[in-house]
Amino acid sequence: MGKILTTITELSVDEIDMGNRLRPVSVAGVEALKTSIRELGVIKDPIHVRKLKKGGKIVLLAGGHRLTAARELRDEGVDGYETIKVTCWNCTDDFAQLMEIDDNLAGAELSALDTAVFLARRKEVYERMHPEAKAQIGAGLVAKRWDTAETISVVSFAEAIAEQMGVTPRHVRNFIRAGQALGAKEVGDLRKAPKPVGVVDLMQLGKIADPVTRYDVVDLMSKGEAKSAADAVRRVRAARGEGPVPKETTDAAHSRLADAWKRANKVARRRFLEEHGTEVWSLLDEMDKGLSE
């Protein structure tokens, strides 16, 4: 299924196709790696590639950050990075995807969003490769971890990944549910969001059964027009007339202040001004200056 075809000492960095990766390489990650390479003078580990039978194209399996770092160092005029050490595999499409996924899960700092995408995709690929495992364990949460020695261990997917990530199996199942719900466009849009998508956001997105609603929620988040997935859900429902219009943070704070002032008696109001009068007068001065300018 996935044994080494041959070990090639070096290939030109331009000869290797990055392929259709599940996530783009991290700019910060590449820069950090380039700094390390400059200090050490070497890329420590070979990247993994696959030679396609049709056309003979060389496609990257694992090591996107290393390949990108080598290319950028070459372009910056650093000698010795026109080529890169590779290990070439003869494997199926599914095995190739498992290798990419496991390389990222094991060695990269993944965002919550990327973790969900990778875990969901890994479950899908493994169950396609091993349908007997899906039938054997109800929800099919099983997986095989690969290494170059081809050691196989079929275990509970949720438990194995939970142990690796230091979370509970329930968290892993929630990640998978969110990753399965999101389409490629939605994932791409969420990656552009000004605020990184958090674990709580993913749990909320995974619960949205209606694709149209989920698309509208993702659209608001990607544009920075909602503080969270829950906030986006409230806004979508309000726009459809299915719920109240959410109050902005400033409006809510103003309402609380105004309500407290109205309910306070005269003695309490005087005490408030004695303690906070300087701040009040300062704000009034700012308002006067703004009106006169």
pTM above 0.75, yes or no: no
Nearest Cα to Cα of residue 94 among 56, 131, 68: 131
Average pLDDT, rounded, for the chain:
76
For residue 143, what are its two tokens? 């997986």
Residue 107 has a pLDDT of 60
For residue 165, what are its two tokens? 């990530």
Q: Is residue 70 part of a domain?
A: yes
Distance CA 143, CA 158 (A): 9
User: 38: domain range?
Assistant: 1-91
Q: Are the beta carbons of 258 and 242 closer than 8 angstroms?
A: no
Count of structural domains, the chain? 2
Place of tokens 């290494």: 147
Please determine, for residue 290, whether its predicted confidence score (pLDDT) is greater than 50: no
Q: Of 208, 239, 270, which marks where a domain is finished?
A: 239
Q: Of 60, 91, 122, which marks where a domain is finished?
A: 91
Place of tokens 């950090």: 32
Q: Is residue 5 part of a domain?
A: yes
Q: Are the beta carbons of 190 and 222 closer than 8 angstroms?
A: yes
Host H or E run for residue 61: strand 58-62
Domain of residue 80, CATH code:
3.90.1530.10
Task: Average the pLDDT over each of 27-36, 104-113, 166-175, 215-224 and give the range with the smallest value.
Answer: 104-113
Q: Of 48, 71, 91, which marks where a domain is finished?
A: 91
More reliable by pLDDT, 230 or 289: 230
Q: Residue 279, Cβ neighbours under 10 Å: how many? A: 9
